[in-house]
Structure 1
Amino acid sequence: MRLYLSSFRMGDRFGELMRALGPRAKVAVISNAVDFIPAEDRTAHARTVFDPVQHFNGQGLDAFDLDLRTFFGDPARLEATLDGVRLVWANGGNAFLLRRAMRQSGLDALLRREVSGGGLVYGGWSAGAVVAAPTLRGLELMDDPEVVVAGYDPEPVWEGLGLVPFSLVPHFGSQHPEAEAAAQAAAWLAAQGLPHRTLRDGEVLVI
């Protein structure tokens, strides 16, 4: 398995991911897509709603938080930190903020090299999924590209990772607050003739 791209949280094919990783596989969990949310609110959400690190660990994996901000401008140290990691997982939030973090830390270049070569599995939901596309054009109808916090480059990164040859639109046709925006994004991509796939919550694209 190279890619596990979900619309919402872990999706309905999580067993396939577990079998591909094997027991005690190391998982780096990235939550930079929600860096615009105050830390205390993020902590409360993880404690009372859903904590991806705890979820992975509860399934017998060895997961840890990886804050890409601590690696901005230091891709060599990031690569060393990821030594032995089998899955890099990116949570939902603002796709443009996540994409900035990937570029500033050098994770984007590392993923392109290691995922294509089979050294890493990349997965994520919502924002974590859509950045795998060739471009983030059209996703501004769902996420604000101007959202930045301290330490981030102000300019949006419109280029995706290019791990799949089409755009992804999560939350399509779902009971989700962004479902209407997802329909607008899908319609825009179709009007532009850009290849894309929609994902309903629960659906996962596995490659």
Structure 2
Amino acid sequence: MRLYLSSYRIGDRAGSLLALLGNGRHAAIIENALDNISPAARELYRNEAYDPVSELGSLGIVGTPLDLRQYFGDPEGLRARLSQFDLCWVTGGNAFVLRRAMKQSGFDDVIVDMLDNDEIVYGGFSAGAVVAAPSLEGIHLMDDPDEAPRGYDRETIWDGLGLIDHAIVPHYRSPHPESAAAERAVRHLCSRGLRYRALRDGEVIVWTENRMASVELRQRIA
């Protein structure tokens, strides 16, 4: 299983991302964490703040937008589409909105299966990294869990994808608007004795451990 989980954008380990990809250079870009803002605001953000196609392109990676809303209720169609890519790059925004999109499209099951079979690399930052954890506990202090754009189920999903064995708190002690909220999330997780890793912007987790082996080890320890 190949994961590249960043606090903010590509971060400081771009070479590691390329190493994970090997000869692969095609990425599906998933931006559904931003579905709670208007299309005009998204376009402004892309033009003036962050364009994932350009960022990946600077590394020689060809990025193609993939909207999970087009696959709500069609996990087989989504799997067929994802099979055409080497990397799934999931951007920031609201982690709870993103998690809803992953559930309604079947992405959560599809990506776990593809990763277990080493068919794709999962990469992402901020919300895209947060959802790799076992749970979104604590992230409710950074993102509104009740955000549900039109076409989304309103039920809040607290389970993460379970790709790693601890929570991720992005933007920790960084020059980012959510840095103060990240401090609150860390205190919350500490108070409950939950495992986490707080990432400063620029920091990245590169994870190549087999997911099932990690799950079995945790079960034996428990």
| Residues 46-195 of structure 1: pairs in structure 2 closer than 5 A | 46-195=46-195
Distance in 2 of aligned mates of 1:113 and 1:20 = 18
Distance in 1 of aligned mates of 2:3 and 2:63 = 18
Aligned residues: 207
Distance in 2 of aligned mates of 1:95 and 1:185 = 14
Distance in 2 of aligned mates of 1:191 and 1:26 = 41
Q: 1:200 maps to which residue?
A: 200
| Corresponding residue SS for 2:86 | strand
Q: 1:38 maps to which residue?
A: 38
| Corresponding residue SS for 1:176 | coil
Q: CA deviation at 1:171?
A: 0.6
Distance in 2 of aligned mates of 1:174 and 1:58 = 24
Q: CA deviation at 1:58?
A: 3.4
Q: CA deviation at 1:41?
A: 1.4
User: Please, what is the CA RMSD of the aligned residues?
Assistant: 1.2
Q: Give the unaligned 5+ runs of structure 2.
A: 208-222
Distance in 2 of aligned mates of 1:56 and 1:164 = 24
The more displaced of 14-23 and 148-157 is: 14-23
Q: 2:16 maps to which residue?
A: 16
Amino acid paired to 2:74: D
Q: CA deviation at 1:83?
A: 1.6
Q: Report the TM-score, using the length of structure 1 for normalisation.
A: 0.96
Distance in 1 of aligned mates of 2:158 and 2:40 = 30
Q: CA deviation at 1:108?
A: 0.4
Between the two proteins, what is the percent identity of the paired residues? Answer: 50
Question: Are the counterparts in 2 of residues 24 and 60 from structure 1 also a CA contact under 8 Å?
Answer: no
Distance 1:51 1:23, change over 3 A: farther
Q: CA deviation at 1:15?
A: 1.5
Question: Are the counterparts in 1 of residues 26 and 62 from structure 2 also a CA contact under 8 Å?
Answer: yes
Distance in 1 of aligned mates of 2:184 and 2:42 = 28
Q: Report the TM-score, using the length of structure 2 for normalisation.
A: 0.90
Moved beyond 3 Å, runs of 4+: none
Question: Are the counterparts in 1 of residues 24 and 86 from structure 2 also a CA contact under 8 Å?
Answer: no
Distance in 1 of aligned mates of 2:202 and 2:67 = 26
